[in-house]
Amino acid sequence: MEKLIEEFSFGLFFWQTLLFGFLLFLLWKFAWKPILSAVNEREDGIKDALAAAEEAKKEMQNVTADSEKLLKEARAEREAMLKEAREIKDKLIADSKEQAKVEGDKMMKQAQAAIESEKKAAVADIKSQVASLSVEIAEKVIKEQLSNKDKQLKLVDDLLGDIKLN
């Protein structure tokens, strides 16, 4: 301890305090203050930039998700539309088929009815013609046969013979 006190030089202490005090002031003013504020500023800048990047990333993700959603929706819509179109087409075909069939049936029926009636008419016509013809023929035959007695008798005989055969 005594050695330490003996070694203590007041002059050196004085100069050290003076110079260091001066240095402290100068460095504080011209070095540490600007350095620390610059470093702080830079760090804040980095922090902000990182936050912004994070934000942008999130936004990007949102946008991608949105577009994906849109795409999906569009695809679904297309699918639905296609399906609907197909259904409409099927229905149309089915409907037209049905209608055609109904129409055809109807026409067929009408044709059949027409044919039937024509046929009936024709038959009736034929019948009447046949009847008149037969009457005429019968008239002529009878006229002829009844012109003499023998023939009349023979006819009667023939008729009678036919009846027997039946």
114 binds another protein (CB under 8 A): no
Residue placing its CB nearer to another protein in the complex, 42 or 58: 42
Q: Which residues of 5-14 are buried (b: 16+ CB within 10 A; e: fewer)?
A: eeeeeeeeee
Q: Tell whether residue 10 is a contact of another protein (CB under 8 A).
A: yes
Say whether 30 sits in a helix, a strand or coil.
Answer: helix
Picking from 139, 147, 144, 145, the residue whose alpha carbon sits closest to that of residue 158 is 145
Q: With respect to another protein, which residue has the nearer C-beta, 15 or 106?
A: 15
CB of 3 to another protein, least distance (A): 9
Least separation in angstroms between CB 44 and another protein? 10
Q: Segment 44-103, which members bind another protein (CB under 8 A)?
A: 45
Surface-to-core class of residue 155, CB atoms within 10 Å of its CB (0-12 exposed, 13-18 middle, 19+ buried): middle
Residue at 95: amino acid letter: D
Select the span of 16-24, 60-68, 103-111, 136-144 touching another protein (CB under 8 A): 16-24
Q: Tell me how far, at minimum, the Cβ of 54 lies from another protein, in Å.
A: 21
Tell me the H-state helices in the chain. 2-7, 10-27, 33-145, 149-165
Residue recorded with tokens 């296609």: 82
Q: Which stretch binds another protein (CB under 8 A): 28-36, 93-101, 135-143, 156-164?
A: 28-36
- Nearer Cβ to another protein, position 34 or 161? 34
Distance CA 59, CA 53 (A): 10
Q: Which is nearer to another protein, 6 or 150 (CB)?
A: 6
Contacts with another protein by CB under 8 A lie at 4, 6-17, 19-20, 22-24, 26-28, 30-36, 38-39, 41-42, 45
